[in-house]
Amino acid sequence: MKELKNFITPLHKSAKRNYLDRMLNEKAKCVKIAKRFDFHYWDGSRRTGFGGYKYITGHWKPMAEQLIKTYNLKSGSKVLDIGCGKSFLLHDLKLLIPDLNIMGFDISKYALENNKDTTKPHVYYHKAQDPYKYGDKEIDLVISLNVLHSLRLFDLKKAINEINRVAKQAYIVVESYRNEEELVNLQCWNTVGQCFFDVDEWIYLFDEFDYKGDYEFIFFE
């Protein structure tokens, strides 16, 4: 394993972003608000987060189909989403495989409370860096989308160790950059990040932490 994937990048590129507008509008204040991960981060102003994180029918379906095919998911398979948020991807996975055993956790109580009925019974509050309640290699697929770069480096290592322990297969997505322009855009846009690494640095860390799963980078072009 440990392969570079291209599952979420098309979805990421479909969104429009005004990088300078976010940086120039009281960015430090907005960062403090965003890190509460409450209404303001998910459904408030675009300056402090998503600006309204809503379910769009079919939006996550292509990615869900790719995960099912790539990782051979079937009825009874266990999928854990680290930093699941409102769990829209888990929802679409469940629509495609009704007997899929989904689970997820997040530190946003607001997001957990605003999960869809399909996923709400299967998600709970937990920190990515704290020990997981699952046994060794219990989970068929662990996923984490745009979450792990929000951890400090020592907590990132703890999270990777737990992913390695519980996952038979894993796929994580982190934000990165390939040039100075993308670094500036990333720093303008991100309101909750702690780790700002280029591609080579991320790959170095994956090796240092002995991460065994697949990964994908998203860039702010």
Check residue 2 and give its pLDDT: 86
In order of their start, the domains of the chain are 9-28+59-218 (3.40.50.150)
Q: Is the Cβ–Cβ distance between 35 and 191 less than 8 Å?
A: yes
Mean pLDDT of 58-69: 97
Distance CA 23, CA 31 (A): 10
Q: Is the pLDDT of residue 25 over 90?
A: no
Q: Is the Cβ–Cβ distance between 140 and 93 less than 8 Å?
A: no
pLDDT tens digits along 95-120? 999 999 999 999 999 999 999 999 99
Reported as a pLDDT band with limits 50, 70 and 90, residue 15 is confident
Q: Is the pLDDT of residue 1 over 90?
A: no
Identify the weakest region by mean pLDDT among 17-31, 109-123, 144-158, 176-190. Answer: 17-31
**Would you call 74 exposed, middle or buried from its count of C-beta atoms within 10 A (0-12, 13-18, 19+)?**
exposed
Mean pLDDT of the chain: 96
pTM for the full predicted model: 0.96
b/e map of 196-213 (b: 16 or more CB within 10 Å)?
Answer: ebbeeebbebbeebebeb
